[in-house]
Structures are given as C-alpha cells and as structure tokens.
Amino acid sequence: MSMRRVLTFGIAVALMCTLFLTGCDILDASNPNSLVEEDLQDPRGASALKNGLLNALMDGTGWAYAPLSAASDEMRWQGSYESYQGFQIGRLDRPGNEITNNTWPEITEARWLADEAIERLTTLEDKGELPQASTLTKTYLYSALTRIQIADTYDDFVYSDKREAGEPIGADNMDRVYDEAIDHLGTAIDRARSNGNEELEMQALGVRARAKHAKAVWNKLNPPGSTPSDPLVSNASDAVSDAQAALSMMPPDYEAEFDYRDPQIDNYVSGQVNDRAELAINDDVEDPKTGEQDPRIARIADEFTDIEQFTADFAPLTWLSAREMRLIIAEDALGRGDADRARQELNDLRALDNLPPIEQGDDLVAYLEHERRANLFLQGRRLNDMFRFGTESPTWQAGESALENPGELLPIPSNEIDTNPNL
C-alpha cells in the first residue's frame, strides 16, 4: 500500500472535521484540527462522515475523469504535461503513468471512507443515536457512486484498510464492484421509502439503473481484446424498470451535479482544462441531422468552461439525469428489436433541444451512440462506449492498448504495486 495512501487514511477523519466542522462547534472542540478518529463516535459527527465521503468521492471523480476523457474523443491534450500524451494516443495500460499514480489515492480514499462511514453510522443508528436517517441513506448512495466510478475506471482494484494491504479483486471479478454498488443502492432505496424521502428514492433508483447498465457494458467488454458483435445492452437485470421508476419521479429534464464551488473542493479535471490548459474540450461535434454543432455538447462545454461562474477549478460534473434514464430505456428497446419504441425515446430526448426527429430508415444504433455522446458528455461514459461501438479516436496509435485491446482501462498503478506485498 502506498505511503501517500497510508498517510491519507491516517488523517482522513481529521480532515473531514477540518473541512466540514470548523466554526460549527458540532463536537464542541476548541481546536478542530486536534480532532481524532475517536471523536467521530459522537453522534454529532454523523454529518461530517457523510460529507467527508462526498468530498472524497467528488475529488476522486474529478481525477478519474481526466485520464478517461483524455483517452476518449471528448478532450485533447494541448499542454506540456506528457503524461496526458500517453492517454491521448490510447496508452492506458502503463502503471507508471504519473496521472494514473496520482488518481489512485484519491478514489481509494473515497472507497475506504464509504465503508468506514457506513459502519460507524450503522452503529449509531442501532444505538438509536443517529440524528437523521437520511445521513446513512445518502452514505449508501455515495458509496455506490464511488464503486461505480472504480469499476468504470480500473481493470483491477485493491481494498486496503489503513496500513493493512488488501488483496487484488482480480480483473475477471471487477463486475463484483458493480454488484456491491447495486446492493448498497437497494439499501438506500429501502431506507428512503421507509422514511418517505422521495428525492433520495428517485436518486437511488436512477443510480441503480446506471449501475446495472454499466455492469452490462462491462460484460460486453470483458475480457478485453475485441469489439463485441452486439454492442447493445438489453434485459440488464431490471435496469429498465429502475430507469422507468426513477424517470416517473423526475422533472422532465432533471439533472444532479456535484457542486465543487460552494464547498471549495478542487475539481482536478476542471483545473486541467480551465487553469493549466493541459486539456481542451472537443466540443465541435456535429448533430447527424442538422450538420451543425450539437447544442447539447456545446451547452455542457460552455458550462464547464464558465470560469466567471465557477472559477477555473470548480466546474460541476453531472452524476444523474433524466436523459440517461431515457437512453437506458431506448437502448433496451433497440436491443430487443423494438425499433419504434427506441426511436420514440430518442426523439423525446432530441425534442428537449428542438432537434429534428430520427426517421424510419435511419441507423438507430449510430443514433443511439451519438445521443449517448451528446447527452452524457463529460460524464465518464464515452470511452467504454467507444470500445463497445467500435469507434476509434483519431489520436490513437497502432500498438497501443486502446486499439490492440479494446475494453482495457487503467491498471493498478506502480506506486501501489511497489508497496503492496499482495501484488
């Protein structure tokens, strides 16, 4: 286990208190920086655990999106940081890449905090000392989002506990991480329903639909090495029923974003685009019908680069939307051979932006891929979609993993390999 991660774990709870409790007197400490892990046995620290997990999840997501977006056709490298060049040419399989190494401790901290927070908050609830039931429900939701991000990003992973090095999950077993997310979301849904919290129920249903769909995509691409003959996901363990249930509870164009600005949490990929200019957004993408720049991509790119509103480092990232629910439903219909239903769902999406409808005779698979690209832009989905639909980035080079081994994602990095005796 890397020394950086050992240190991160050792101070994680104290950092949570520093970030979220300073000035609030929640634990009645004269010096919040002196708070130690045992202080969070106090029920008044419950929200700090939940917020600390959210902080780590947002941090880890921003880091993970940088290599995934640079390797896809969503962003291009234009700076001097040569670690991005590897991703740009499709070289994802190098454990020594500096960005791969630096991303690891951020997302591993989020996973550790998720499990720690669930254990501690469950103990408080069992004692009748948890101030709000929604605190633990949200923690299950954030834990699931953390696991989805891990499985979307890595070929293998390790769950370690402070100084105790974990065993690798194994490349053939990474779908288990989605299963853990789905299980946590089931708990969140049950809790939200029992407490009458419709917003949390809606969010957990939507994220569970996303997790089930992502697991089905993983199964299409693993073991890596070839483009699937059928890229479409259908009958994905009730993903559609979850998507439909969530959609029925959502406003027509619902969207949930990570807000980096208010808590002043740096979004790493935002800084790489808006501050360092190492990466640039490829937003010049035409809509297949109009031949003009797709307005969905343009809108998302404009928001992400709006430094007057968000400054350079705090651009938001979307983690759930009604649009994704429609895309899951449309893809399932298309995979089952119901072209009319698929076309209608995709046209309902296009109507949100007054785009001309898809017509009979149009290539629905190609339109599905484009609609996913447009409506899920900068949401971490594009690279796996490129792999399963057989789309190549013009910057990928022969001999690199993106071309030679489609479906391969980031490896366990060298800083973990060098310090974990189980690897």
CA dihedral 59, 50, 14, 31 (to 10 degrees): 120
- Bridge partners (DSSP) listed for residue 286: 293
Listed by start position, the domains of the chain span 3-419
Which residues of the chain, if any, have pLDDT below 50?
1-35
pLDDT value of residue 36:
53
User: What's the whole-model pTM score?
Assistant: 0.92
Residue 90 CB contacts under 8 Å (≥ 6 apart), including other chains: 71, 393, 395, 396, 397, 400, 401, 402, 403
Q: Which two tokens stand for residue 212?
A: 């089930």
pLDDT value of residue 189:
98
pLDDT value of residue 22:
34
Q: Of 179, 176, 157, whose CA–CA distance to 168 is shortest? A: 157
Q: Which two tokens stand for residue 300?
A: 């998302």
Backbone angles phi and psi of 255, in degrees to 5: -150, 135
pLDDT value of residue 235:
79
pLDDT value of residue 17:
40
Q: Write the DSSP symbol of residue 255.
A: E
Backbone angles phi and psi of 256, in degrees to 5: -115, 130
Q: 3-419 in CATH: which number? A: 1.25.40.390
Burial call 114-147: b when 16+ CB within 10 Å, e when fewer: bbbbbebbeebbeeeebeebbbbbbbbbbbbbbb
Pairwise CA distance, residues 222 & 409, whole Å: 11
Chain-centroid distance, C-alpha 131: 29
Is the bond into 406 cis (omega within 30 degrees of 0)? Answer: no
Chain-centroid distance, C-alpha 306: 22
Q: Which two tokens stand for residue 153?
A: 């990003």
Pairwise CA distance, residues 324 & 207, whole Å: 10
Pairwise CA distance, residues 176 & 150, whole Å: 11
Q: Strands 255-258, 279-281: parallel, antiparallel or unpaired by DSSP? A: unpaired
Helix ranges (H only) for 175-294 are 175-194, 198-221, 239-249, 268-274
Q: Which two tokens stand for residue 68?
A: 């995934």
